[in-house]
Amino acid sequence: MRLRLWRNFNICCLAIWQKQKDLTRASMKANIPLPDPCLDIPQIETFGEELIAICGRIERHGLVDYGVGVWEEEILSILHQCWSLSQTLSTQLRMLDQLADRDGQMSQSICAGQRQ
């Protein structure tokens, strides 16, 4: 019973983060912000910090990265992938905004020059 509980917990965590990863990749491909209810970068960081703290408290009971307990390494690995992709998406969207602003300014300059 306990083994199944931990297994289900770990699979649930991995599935949630895999979904976040998939949605982030789709957002990167479409050049759009992450949809709700995706987590932002500070929330991902907080989850990671909390997971590390919890694992630190339960490790002495043999409940981290063993047959029973939290699969800390696997969860932190996919969490880091999500964080990295989110950072990349944020940079990508910021650059696209800057290009759009620059293009808008150039269009205004061209239109103003044509009116003269």
Q: Give the model confidence (pLDDT) of 44-63 as tens digits.
A: 999 999 999 999 999 999 99
Residue with the bigger pLDDT between 116 and 81: it is 81
- Whether residue 29 is contained in a domain is answered as no
Domain tally for the chain?
1
Query: How many CB atoms sit inside 10 A of residue 44's CB?
Result: 21
- Whether residue 27 is contained in a domain is answered as no
Interior angle at CA 103, CA 98 and CA 108, nearest 5: 125
Distance separating alpha carbons of residues 19 and 82, to the nearest angstrom: 10
Q: Is the pLDDT of residue 36 over 90?
A: no
- Whether residue 28 is contained in a domain is answered as no
Contacts of 88 (CB under 8 A, 6+ apart): 28
What are residue 70's DSSP bridge partners? 64
Q: Is the pLDDT of residue 37 over 90?
A: no
- Whether residue 26 is contained in a domain is answered as no
Structural domain of 90: 2-20+37-115
- Whether residue 25 is contained in a domain is answered as no
Task: Enter the pTM of the model.
Answer: 0.83
- Whether residue 85 is contained in a domain is answered as yes
- Whether residue 32 is contained in a domain is answered as no
Quick one: pLDDT band at residue 71, thresholds 50, 70, 90?
A: very high
What are the structure tokens assigned to 64, written together? 């981290």
